[in-house]
C-alpha cells in the first residue's frame, strides 16, 4: 500500500470514529426548573404582591379616626360642655384610668372611646344638672404605646407609636414582608391589656399571667383579597410575629404555642403536640381542630381529631401539612371557638369559621 492510499484509509477511520462519537452522544436536555425553584418563584411573586397591596392599602386608607381609639392612662383629654363653660376642662388620665371633673367627681374612662365618654358625661349631667347638654371630648395627646414586630419583616423591632394603630400600619412601618415570609401572621397579646368593660370593677384581678392570647391572621386574605376585618386594632404591648413559610402551627391550650418548621420532614399530630410541650389540663384534646387550606378558593377544611386517643394508640396519628393550624380548645369547645371568632372577626380567615 502506497503512502497516499494509507493516508486516505486513515482519514476514513478517523471520520468514522468522530461520526460514531457524535451519534452516540446523548442529546442535551433542556434546562428545567425544579419544583423547589418553581415554589421559590411563586413565593417571591406572592410576597411582592402582598407588599404592593400593603403599600397601596396604607396610602389609600385614611388614618384611623381618634373616635375609635380607646382612652388609656396618660392621655390628655380636652372636655367641653357647650351649655356651661365653667365645666370645660383639659385633664390627663391617671395611671388608674380615671379623671376628675367638676360636679361629677372621679370618672373611670380607661377603655372608652371619645364618643362613649361624651355619652357618659352627657347622661350624668342630664340626670342632675343640665337639660339636654352637648358634650365634646377631644384627645389632645396620646400616650406612647410600644408594639413589637418580629419575624420575617424588613425592619423588625419595637415601635413607639401614638394613637390607634392596626396590623397594616405596623407592617408598613416595619418595611413589609420578606420573600420567605409565611402566609400567616401571629398577633400575641398579654392578658388584661384591654378590659372588656372598663366601668365594671374587677374584684378578682388575679388571673393566670400566662394566659396570653394568640390571634392568627391570614395575610393572603388581608393583603391580597382585601378583607379589612382582619386589619385588627393594636394595643400597647402587642407582639406581631410573621414566621417563615414551611411551618405548621400549634395554638390554644398548649404550653408552648407557636410555629414549628417542617424542614422537609413530616410531622404527625402527636409530634406537633410534643413540640408544643403538651396539652394543658384545661384543654379539651378530644375536640382538637386542624384548620387546613383546601386549595378551593377561600375554603378551608376543618378536621377534628382526638389527641388522647392518638397518644394512647387507639386512633391513627395523621400527618400535618404545611400551614396547618392545630388548635387545642378549652373544655366547652363551642363556646371557645365562638368566643375567639367574636373577639377578632375573621380570626382564622373567612373559611375557618365554617362548621362552628
Which range has the top average pLDDT, 58-62, 208-212, 229-233? 229-233
Burial of residue 346, with CB atoms counted within 10 A of its CB: 0-12 exposed, 13-18 middle, 19 or more buried: buried
pLDDT value at residue 295: 54
For residue 330, the model assigns a pLDDT of 87
Q: Are residues 125 and 152 in the same domain?
A: no
Query: In this prediction, what percent of the chain has a pLDDT beyond 90?
Result: 34
Same domain, 347 and 307: yes
pLDDT value at 192 more than 50: yes
Residues 164 and 265 in one domain: no
The domain that holds 102 is classified in CATH as 3.30.1950.10
20 versus 97: the higher-pLDDT residue is 97
Identify the band that residue 353 occupies on the pLDDT scale cut at 50, 70 and 90: very low
Q: How far is CA 34 from CA 29, 39, 98, 214, in A?
A: 14, 9, 63, 36
Task: Tell me how far the alpha carbon of residue 217 is from its chain's centroid.
Answer: 4
The reply to whether 28 falls in a domain is: no
- The answer on 184 and 54 residing in a single domain is yes
Distances (CA, A) of 311 to 91, 197, 265, 352: 59, 41, 20, 26
d(CA 64, CA 82): 27
Per-residue pLDDT reduced to its tens digit, 260-303: 887 667 889 999 999 999 999 889 999 999 988 765 545 678 89
Predicted pLDDT of residue 45: 65
pLDDT tens for each residue of 257-269 = 888 887 667 889 9
pLDDT given at position 204:
43
* Per-residue model confidence (pLDDT) at position 58: 55
Is 301 domain-assigned? Answer: yes
Residue 120 pLDDT more than 90?
yes
Domain match, 105 and 154 both: no
More confident residue, 196 or 213: 213
Do 258 and 345 have their domain in common? yes
Instruction: Name the burial class of residue 348, with classes exposed (0-12), middle (13-18) and buried (19+) by CB atoms within 10 angstroms of its CB.
Output: buried
Q: Do 353 and 255 sit in the same domain of this protein?
A: yes
Of residues 23 and 321, which shows the higher confidence score? 321
Domain-embedded: residue 326: yes
Cβ count near 317 (within 10 Å): 15
Q: Is residue 83 part of a domain?
A: yes
pLDDT surpasses 80 at 234 = yes
Look up the domain containing 330 and give its range.
247-356
Q: Which of the pair, 82 or 339, is modelled with greater confidence?
A: 82
Task: Kindly state whether residues 152 and 126 are assigned to the same domain.
Answer: no
Specify burial of residue 149 (Cβ count, 10 A radius: 0-12, 13-18, 19+). buried
C-alpha cell at 134: 352637648
Measure Cα distances from 340 to 210, 327, 347 in Å.
17, 12, 7
What are the CA-CA distances from residue 204 to residues 21, 42, 141, 201, 207 (Å)?
Answer: 89, 51, 32, 9, 8
Mean pLDDT on 201-210: 44
Count: domains in the chain: 3
Q: Which of 28-37, 162-171, 216-225, 259-268 has the lowest mean pLDDT?
A: 28-37
Q: Residue 178 belongs to a domain with what CATH number?
A: 3.10.560.10
Least confident residue range of 43-47, 153-157, 266-270: 43-47
Residues 6+ apart with CB under 8 A from 59: none
Amino acid at each position: 500500500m502506497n503512502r497516499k492510499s494509507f493516508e486516505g484509509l486513515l482519514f476514513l477511520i478517523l471520520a468514522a470514529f468522530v461520526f460514531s462519537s457524535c451519534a452516540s452522544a446523548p442529546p442535551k436536555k433542556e434546562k428545567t426548573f425544579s419544583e423547589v425553584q418553581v415554589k421559590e418563584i411563586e413565593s417571591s411573586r406572592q410576597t411582592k404582591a402582598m407588599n404592593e397591596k400593603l403599600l397601596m392599602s396604607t396610602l389609600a386608607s385614611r388614618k384611623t379616626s381618634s373616635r375609635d381609639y380607646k382612652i388609656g392612662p396618660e392621655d390628655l383629654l380636652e372636655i367641653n360642655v357647650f351649655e356651661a363653660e365653667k365645666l370645660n376642662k383639659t385633664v390627663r388620665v391617671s395611671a388608674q384610668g380615671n379623671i376628675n371633673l367638676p360636679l361629677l367627681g372621679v370618672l373611670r374612662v380607661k377603655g372608652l372611646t371619645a364618643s362613649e365618654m361624651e355619652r357618659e358625661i352627657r347622661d350624668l349631667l342630664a340626670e342632675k344638672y343640665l337639660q339636654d347638654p352637648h358634650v365634646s371630648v377631644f384627645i389632645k395627646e396620646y400616650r406612647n404605646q410600644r408594639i413589637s414586630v418580629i419575624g420575617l419583616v424588613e425592619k423588625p423591632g419595637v415601635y413607639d407609636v401614638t394613637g390607634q394603630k392596626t396590623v397594616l400600619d405596623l407592617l408598613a412601618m416595619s418595611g413589609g414582608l420578606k420573600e420567605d415570609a409565611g402566609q400567616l401572621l401571629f398577633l400575641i397579646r398579654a392578658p388584661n391589656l384591654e378590659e372588656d368593660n372598663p366601668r365594671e370593677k374587677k374584684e378578682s384581678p388575679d388571673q393566670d399571667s400566662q394566659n396570653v392570647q394568640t390571634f392568627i391572621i391570614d395575610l393572603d386574605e388581608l393583603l391580597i383579597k382585601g378583607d379589612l376585618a382582619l386589619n385588627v386594632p393594636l394595643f400597647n404591648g402587642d407582639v406581631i410575629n410573621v414566621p417563615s413559610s414551611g411551618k405548621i402551627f400549634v395554638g390554644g391550650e398548649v404550653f408552648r404555642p407557636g410555629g414549628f418548621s417542617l424542614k422537609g420532614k413530616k410531622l404527625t399530630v402527636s409530634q406537633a403536640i410534643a413540640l408544643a410541650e403538651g396539652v394543658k389540663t384545661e384543654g379539651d384534646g378530644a375536640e382538637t381542630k386542624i384548620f387546613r387550606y383546601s386549595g378551593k378558593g377561600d375554603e378551608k377544611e376543618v378536621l377534628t381529631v382526638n389527641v388522647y386517643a392518638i397518644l394512647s394508640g387507639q386512633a391513627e396519628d395523621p400527618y400535618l401539612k404545611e400551614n396547618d393550624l392545630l388548635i387545642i380548645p378549652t373544655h366547652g369547645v363551642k363556646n371557645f371557638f365562638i368566643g375567639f371568632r367574636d373577639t377578632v372577626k375573621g380570626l382564622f380567615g373567612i373559611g375557618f369559621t365554617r362548621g362552628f
